[in-house]
Amino acid sequence: SQQGEEDPQALSIQEGENATMNCSYKTSINNLQWYRQNSGRGLVHLILIRSNEREKHSGRLRVTLDTSKKSSSLLITASRAADTASYFCATDMSGSEKLVFGKGTKLTVNP
């Protein structure tokens, strides 16, 4: 059973534009994490937001969490070609120590 689901599945933008990806989940969580995966590589952790937090920033990344809507968004500002990758949200379920990943959003940033 899939816990997190990203939207859109694919996103293509021009360099300099902002990219927004969304993640919805089904059950209550302890925290939500976002990861990036470059083609053919492993995942790299970007940011973790706890269930009692509403917003978090890291460099050009901004993550929001709305537990009432069971959703999160990842905003990448002033995108660069190097941001081209797939982005995954990962959630746990309260009481579980296992992370469940969504299918990801494939972001293409055109130079």
Partner 1 sequence: EADIYQTPRYLVIGTGKKITLECSQTMGHDKMYWYQQDPGMELHLIHYSYGVNSTEKGDLSSESTVSRIRTEHFPLTLESARPSHTSQYLCASSSTLLRVYNSPLHFGNGTRLTVT
Binding site for partner 1 (CB under 8 A): 2, 30-31, 33, 35, 40-45, 48, 50, 86, 88, 90, 92, 97-104, 106
* DSSP-assigned letters across all residues of 45-56: EEEEEETT--EE
Supply 34's token pair: 């976002």
CA-to-CA dists, residue 13 to 9, 71, 77, 100, angstroms: 14, 23, 12, 28
Instruction: Round to whole Å and give the CA distance between 100 and 85.
Output: 19
CB of 49 to partner 1, least distance (A): 11
Nearer to partner 1, 7 or 18 (CB): 7
CB of 47 to partner 1, least distance (A): 9
Nearer to partner 1, 45 or 54 (CB): 45
